[in-house]
Amino acid sequence: MSKPKYYVSRQIVRQALYVSALVWITYATYWLCSNDNNQNVLDPSEYSIYDMNSEQYILQQKLHPPEPSSPSPKPIKKPSGDFKYHSTVLTLQTKMITNDDRGIDKHSLIYNDIFQDHGVDSVFGNLDFNQRCDLYFRNLFSHDHNWVFDPNRQLNDFESEEFKEFAKENEEAFKKAYEEIDSVRVSLRQFISEQWLQKTAVVREQTMSDYLATTRIFNKCYVTNDNKDQIKKNEDFISQQRQILEQSGKQVTPFTNTKFESMLDPSTYGASKFEYRVYPWLSRSFPIYERWTGEVFSNPPNMKQLLKSSNQESKKSINKKASKTQSKFLNQLKNSSNGKGIVISIADKHVDDTVNLIRLLRALKNALPIEIVYNGDLSKESKKKIIIAAREDFKTLPRSFNNVANMFGPGYFDPNQHGLPRQEVWFINTNNVLNNSYKEKFQGFANKLLATLFNSFEEFILMDADTIIMTNPEHFFALSGYVKSGALFFKDRAIFSRRSRGDATMFKKLSPSIVDKLMFDIPIMTDHSLKREFFKGLHHYMESGLVLLNRNKHFSSILLMQQLNFITTITNKVYGDKELFWLAFALNGDEDYQFTDHFAASAGELTPAAERVKSDGVNYQALEICSAHPAHLNPDDGTSLLWINSGFRNCHKANSIDYGSELVLGTKFKNIKTEEAFKAFYSSPLRITHAIVPPLSPDLGLLENIEGEPSGGWMLEGYCSAYMFCGYSSIGGKTTSGESNKLEGKLVTFDESARNLFNYLGDIWVGIE
Ligand SMILES: *[C@@H]1O[C@H](CO)[C@@H](O)[C@H](O)[C@H]1NC(C)=O
Ligand SMILES: *[C@@H]1O[C@H](CO)[C@@H](O)[C@H](O)[C@H]1NC(C)=O
């Protein structure tokens, strides 16, 4: 496939095309203006815009000789974004956008083309939602027949010829500048790369902006356009807009297609064609759905029907009705989701964790179906292990069960049946959903994004294999944040680690623009997103070890999430998939998502007071929990523990630790004296008596103090291969000025029955009898 030149160097291409373009545009304009009363004009259908020998062309040359095209051609287009200052746009903006706190607004270049050719009033005053969709994609296509969202497009490609040329051309100047100003901070290569990034920033940002705007608009126009609420909202929006124009006394001019637009056959830019251009990486097949029994389906199964009856006949998949000619794959995918379930995205290396998780789910009396999503290869042995964990009799319970037996009620454990309830497990292979050309784009963490799109549930809990939940999964769906929005996210540890200021600006530029709102009712980003510490510069914001989503409600945001995965300028700024979930929502204009209030806690046991003594012999005020597990409190009560990450052992990496070097660290766990004792401790289940949510200072900074108290909420101590963090219940203290900057976090003390439950679940997961 050829590269989309339109975006590679749009300006250059434009200028290069100037000569021929000017010629026929002059002609086309003339033709349009004089069509009816100029007897000399020939039947347009007989005329080619490319035909320079035609009578039309020659006549045109005589009437309106083109201006000389050199030495400095006048640009054909007005400066970009002129339309934004048109009085109609300003009126609509004032009336329809009450609050804009972004401080920056960047729009897709397609709008420049649209409003170059059409009066602002004629578009807003005449076109309904579908006509606007049509206009957008017609323009996108007509200005670049090769347009495609290219997942392989490297926006900061240091391997490219352009970069090499740039580096070579400026070699001497860069060397000089480098030695004078920057040789301490970075290498010469880095220095030049930075210059390149700066030089190409404008093009890069515009390309990203166009990609994302086009994805958003495509989704709203052609994927979720069958949603009744959306249709109603669109109609209200358009009529409100017309009312505003009427009241303001605007003269609405009729809308006419340009000559060029009217020459496009709708099949060239329509929804079904453009699905291939916006999502070229999709093969447009469903994944393979394999039940634990070995039954295999090629369409999303209807779990409810399937589970209700063991009758062979009812085991139908849901998509019978969709016809083969229906090319709107994504719409069909959206329609096919059904029911509630648990989704776990894994590879072979996660199989032991997965087995433990399934045992845990049995202990929690889980009745939801579980979909294990993998990309390409999950070995037969792995599947077998998982099925055994889900289906074999589970009758031997750890001794710690005695302390919690009354919590689960009668019928929890049926010794005459299979012991703990068996699980309905499915394997979903996403390998064939991807076009071969793009398979390598979904390695590693990105599988989780695919799992989000291709599991079969309408509502699901997406978990990592090493995520531990402390309560029955159904309770998660009842959390108020989820009920309210259909998308509940959890925050990460609020670790003092900053991102560059430019990040916030970039994400604002990529978010929906004012014209996206006025044309398509795609809301601009508000404080709901902008007030988050991420935009103030906090590096880690979301913890994606557990995510709750309603796929139907947020289908278009989930699609945008996949697209973000291809843009390395974005993925370089976030760790793995972590932030992509909520950022996709924010960048999609879908702010109907909720985060829990608390940042992640440190869960485990308090460091004994005897080990919390300062050099002057006084005890620290700040309590401490050192734990390798970020923990998440129930947002609805603020005191119960919902889930933790990184398995249930004290140290998830227990089998690959250099115990000798951890033993000599000597700062924590002072009562552990030998390597063997360390290994035994790391391998055993985490015991949880307390949790601490450390405070975060409003400016995200450290609270230096003269009392020797912690200045930040989290400290990395090097234990558990540096996966263990110590969290503090307070930070700051008296400062040199005599005042106190102390901030308190949150300490939760779990009661006896909660501790017993954690012990039981820990024993189940680790496999202790
Ligand atoms: C999806 O469902 C909607 C409404 O329920 C329907 O209008 C649409 O045709 C369906 N799409 C496909 C591809 O089956
Ligand atoms: C896969 O992508 C390539 C390159 O973009 C394209 O030529 C091919 O038609 C695609 N195949 C399918 C099955 O969509």
Q: Is the CB of residue 2 below 6 angstroms from any atom belonging to ligand 2?
A: no
Task: Concatenate the DSSP letters of all residues of 253-295 into one string.
Answer: PPP---HHHHTS-HHHHSHHHHHHHH-TTB-S---EEEETTS-
* Cβ pair 343, 455 in contact under 8 A: yes
Ligand closest to 329 (CA) is: 1
- Residue 274 CA to residue 313 CA, distance in Å, equals 38
The residue whose CA has the least distance to atom 6 of ligand 1 is 226
pLDDT of residue 377: 84
HSE-CB for 443 with a 13 A CA cutoff = 2
Ligand closest to 432 (CA) is: 2
Q: What share of the chain is helix, strand, coil (3-state, %, to 5)?
A: 45, 10, 40
Is it the case that residue 140 has pLDDT exceeding 60?
Answer: yes
pLDDT, average across residues 259-276: 83
C-alpha to C-alpha distances, 236 to 36, 135, 203, 243, nearest whole angstrom: 38, 20, 36, 10
Measured in Å, residue 569 CA sits from the centre of ligand 1 at 35
pLDDT, average across residues 166-170: 83
Measured in Å, residue 225 CA sits from the centre of ligand 1 at 10
Measured in Å, residue 333 CA sits from the centre of ligand 1 at 10
- Residue 66 CA to residue 26 CA, distance in Å, equals 8
pLDDT of residue 79: 47
> What region does 106 belong to: left with phi over 0, alpha with psi -120 to 50, or beta?
beta
Structure tokens at 732: 């700051």
Q: From the DSSP assignment, how many helices (H) and strands (E) are in the chain?
A: 33, 20
Residue pLDDT, tens place only, 317-365: 444 443 332 347 999 999 999 999 999 999 999 999 999 999 999 999 9
DSSP state at residue 524: P
Least confident span in 229-233, 249-253, 465-469, 540-544? 249-253
Confidence of residue 52 (pLDDT cuts 50, 70, 90): low
pLDDT of residue 51: 62
The residue whose CA has the least distance to atom 1 of ligand 2 is 435
Task: Concatenate the DSSP letters of all residues of 113-148 into one string.
Answer: HHHHHS-HHHHHHH--HHHHHHHHHHHHHHH-TT--
- Residue 681 CA to residue 657 CA, distance in Å, equals 12
The residue whose CA has the least distance to atom 3 of ligand 2 is 437
Nearest to 205 by CA among 477, 567, 500: 567
Least confident span in 26-40, 266-280, 325-339, 430-444? 26-40
Q: Is the CB of residue 66 below 6 angstroms from any atom belonging to ligand 2?
A: no
Ligand closest to 280 (CA) is: 2
Nearest to 372 by CA among 338, 341, 416, 408: 341
Atom of ligand 2 nearest to the CA of 282: 14
Q: Which of 222, 226, 332 to mutate to test the pocket of ligand 1 (most atoms within 8 A of CB)?
A: 226
Q: Which residues line ligand 1 (CB under 6 A)?
A: 226, 322, 326, 328, 331-332, 335
pLDDT of residue 15: 45
HSE-CB for 654 with a 13 A CA cutoff = 19
Measured in Å, residue 217 CA sits from the centre of ligand 2 at 23
pLDDT of residue 54: 59
pLDDT of residue 59: 52
Q: Is the CB of residue 1 below 6 angstroms from any atom belonging to ligand 2?
A: yes
Give whichever of 166-175, 408-417, 482-491 has the largest mean pLDDT.
482-491
Place of tokens 């394999």: 290
Measured in Å, residue 273 CA sits from the centre of ligand 2 at 13
Measured in Å, residue 560 CA sits from the centre of ligand 1 at 21
C-alpha to C-alpha distances, 318 to 303, 323, 433, 558, nearest whole angstrom: 9, 12, 18, 21
Residue pLDDT, tens place only, 440-460: 888 878 899 999 999 999 999
Confidence of residue 72 (pLDDT cuts 50, 70, 90): very low
Q: Is the CB of residue 285 below 6 angstroms from any atom belonging to ligand 2?
A: no
Measured in Å, residue 436 CA sits from the centre of ligand 2 at 7
Measured in Å, residue 301 CA sits from the centre of ligand 2 at 27
Ligand closest to 151 (CA) is: 2
Q: Which of 224, 331, 551 to mutate to test the pocket of ligand 1 (most atoms within 8 A of CB)?
A: 331
Residue pLDDT, tens place only, 592-626: 999 999 999 999 999 999 999 998 999 999 999 99
406-429 burial, b if ≥16 CB within 10 A, otherwise e?
Answer: eebeeebbeeeeebbbbbbbbbbb
Measured in Å, residue 215 CA sits from the centre of ligand 2 at 19
pLDDT of residue 321: 42
pLDDT, average across residues 229-254: 93
Least confident span in 157-161, 276-280, 333-337, 711-715? 157-161
Nearest to 650 by CA among 606, 691, 683: 683
pLDDT of residue 22: 39
Q: Are strands 594-595 and 487-491 parallel, antiparallel or unpaired?
A: parallel
Atom of ligand 1 nearest to the CA of 334: 1
- Residue 404 CA to residue 755 CA, distance in Å, equals 10
Return the SS3 of 237: helix
Place of tokens 């003092």: 496
* Cβ pair 582, 593 in contact under 8 A: yes
- Residue 167 CA to residue 177 CA, distance in Å, equals 13
Measured in Å, residue 476 CA sits from the centre of ligand 1 at 29
Measured in Å, residue 279 CA sits from the centre of ligand 2 at 10
Instruction: Work out the number of other CB atoms within 10 angstroms of the CB of residue 358.
Output: 27
Measured in Å, residue 434 CA sits from the centre of ligand 2 at 10
Q: What are the sequence ranges of the domains in the chain?
A: 1-65, 161-199, 601-766
Is it the case that residue 70 has pLDDT exceeding 60?
Answer: no
> What region does 439 belong to: left with phi over 0, alpha with psi -120 to 50, or beta?
alpha
Atom of ligand 1 nearest to the CA of 321: 14
Is the N-terminal amide bond of 398 cis, ω within 30° of 0? no
Please report, as a single letter, which amino acid is at residue 232: K
Q: Which of 150, 437, 438 to mutate to test the pocket of ligand 2 (most atoms within 8 A of CB)?
A: 437
Judge residue 531's burial from the number of C-beta atoms within 10 Å of its C-beta, 0-12 exposed, 13-18 middle, 19 or more buried. exposed
pLDDT of residue 674: 94
Q: Is the CB of residue 283 below 6 angstroms from any atom belonging to ligand 2?
A: yes
Q: Which of 2, 286, 435 to mutate to test the pocket of ligand 2 (most atoms within 8 A of CB)?
A: 435
Residue predicted with more confidence, 305 or 756:
756
Measured in Å, residue 357 CA sits from the centre of ligand 1 at 36
Atom of ligand 2 nearest to the CA of 435: 1
Ligand closest to 555 (CA) is: 1
The residue whose CA has the least distance to atom 11 of ligand 2 is 435
pLDDT, average across residues 296-313: 73
Is it the case that residue 26 has pLDDT exceeding 70?
Answer: no
Residue predicted with more confidence, 766 or 578:
766
Confidence of residue 161 (pLDDT cuts 50, 70, 90): confident
Ligand closest to 320 (CA) is: 1
3-state secondary structure 483-516: HHHCEEEEECCCCCCECCHHHHHHHHHHCCCHHH
- Residue 693 CA to residue 695 CA, distance in Å, equals 7
Is it the case that residue 262 has pLDDT exceeding 90?
Answer: no
* Cβ pair 101, 526 in contact under 8 A: yes
Measured in Å, residue 282 CA sits from the centre of ligand 2 at 9
**Positive or negative CA dihedral for 122, 124, 125, 130?**
positive
Ligand closest to 224 (CA) is: 1
> What region does 686 belong to: left with phi over 0, alpha with psi -120 to 50, or beta?
beta
Is it the case that residue 58 has pLDDT exceeding 60?
Answer: no
pLDDT of residue 572: 84
| Average of per-residue pLDDT values in the chain | 86
The residue whose CA has the least distance to atom 10 of ligand 2 is 435
Q: Is the CB of residue 15 below 6 angstroms from any atom belonging to ligand 2?
A: no
The rounded percent of the chain whose pLDDT value lies above 70 is 86
pLDDT of residue 765: 98
Residue pLDDT, tens place only, 633-650: 999 999 999 999 999 999
pLDDT, average across residues 241-257: 91
Measured in Å, residue 277 CA sits from the centre of ligand 2 at 10
pLDDT of residue 190: 81
Confidence of residue 66 (pLDDT cuts 50, 70, 90): very low
Is it the case that residue 175 has pLDDT exceeding 90?
Answer: no
- Residue 405 CA to residue 348 CA, distance in Å, equals 34
- Residue 380 CA to residue 611 CA, distance in Å, equals 49
Confidence of residue 18 (pLDDT cuts 50, 70, 90): very low
Q: Which of 229, 286, 299, 335 to mutate to test the pocket of ligand 1 (most atoms within 8 A of CB)?
A: 335
* Cβ pair 126, 254 in contact under 8 A: yes
pLDDT, average across residues 659-672: 91
The residue whose CA has the least distance to atom 12 of ligand 2 is 283
CA end-to-end distance (rounded Å), the chain: 59
pLDDT of residue 500: 81
Is it the case that residue 13 has pLDDT exceeding 60?
Answer: no
